[in-house]
Amino acid sequence: MSELGKPTIAVDGLHVEYRSFASGKAASDRRALLKRQRGLRVVHALKGVSFVAHEGESIGVIGHNGSGKSTLMRTLAGLQAPSRGAVYAASRPALLGVNAALLGDLSGDKNVTLGALALGHAPSEVEGIRDEIVEFSGLGDFMDLPMKTYSSGMQARLRFSIAISRDHRILLVDEALAVGDKEFRAKSEQRIRELRDQAGTVFLVSHSMKSIRDTCTRVLWIDHGNLVMDGPTKPVVRAYLRSK
């Protein structure tokens, strides 16, 4: 792998555990207020994942539901703390996920302002990039409605548009394109390729093998929190499809 650029992300033996309240038979612990939470269950979502990503790579992440893909993305972005191991990155990765509206009771327009400010844009820049964001999202007529009234596709479009308003060196796309329509998807995939060509690193989580084949040069296959396979797109996707 000598023709690759400099490393941008190194992931070293990453473990992530979730503590969550469970109910039912499996969780009928004895109640104790201070010592242990009742029904606490530990879910081991990532079990020692390691890899290095380089400049100009776009990496697909595939696996079944619940295999730990989204957890990996959240940890890469620094939004979820690892219980063991560490993530090192050249700059803070930006995550585009499918979570709910930013602030549902505020209008799309205000979400754009707040999102841009939270991303670190100066207030004087916000007015300038607002048009860009609205234009890219294609939601011009809906900007004065509360974001909670948007359909999930519309919410995803607006979030994606806000997030890519800033140039990121490392971009994590967690199924954020799955809910968009065909046109928006093509536009976003185009933007992802541009980012990659500007020596960025892009991670794409998707269940669409077509998207993965079209945009990715390398694929990580994760199963039950373990990295099963890491390599060029074609053989990994083929092995993944055969495993089903």
Partner 1 sequence: MTNIDYGAVARDAGLPRVGARPTLPAYLRELWRRRHFATTMARFRVEASTAENRLGLAWVVLDPLLQAGVYGLIFGVIMPGSSRPQPFVPFLVTGFFIFTYFSKSFSQGAKSITGNLALVRSLAFPRMLLPLSAVLRNLYELVPMLAVLAAILIGFRQYPTWSWLLMIPIVILMTMFNVGVALVAARLTVHLRDIGQLIPVITRILFYMSGIFYSLELVLAPPKHPAWMLALAQLNPVHDFIELSRGALQEAHGVPGRLWIIAGVAAVSMLGFGIVFFWRAEERYGRE
Among 27, 42, 86, 241, binds partner 1 (CB under 8 A): 86
Q: How many CB atoms lie within 10 A of CB 108?
A: 25
12 is a site residue for partner 1 (CB under 8 A):
yes
151 is a site residue for partner 1 (CB under 8 A):
no
97 is a site residue for partner 1 (CB under 8 A):
yes
For the chain, report the end-to-end CA distance as a whole number of angstroms: 29
214 is a site residue for partner 1 (CB under 8 A):
no
CA distance 155 to 112: 11
Q: Which of residues 118-137 bind partner 1 (CB under 8 A)?
A: 118-120, 122-123
| Cα angle 207-80-54, degrees, rounded to a multiple of 5 | 60
92 is a site residue for partner 1 (CB under 8 A):
yes
- Tell me the number of residues near partner 1 by CB under 8 A: 51
Q: What is the dihedral of CA 93, 94, 95, 96, to 10 degrees?
A: -150
Give CA 71 to chain center in angstroms. Answer: 9
Kindly list the distances between the CA atom of residue 35 and the CA atoms of 20, 25, 40, in Å, as whole numbers in the listed order: 15, 20, 11
Among 45, 63, 74, 142, binds partner 1 (CB under 8 A): 74
88 is a site residue for partner 1 (CB under 8 A):
yes
Site of interaction with partner 1 (CB under 8 A)? 6-13, 18-20, 50-52, 74, 76-81, 86-90, 92-95, 97, 99-106, 110, 113-115, 117-120, 122-123, 159, 230
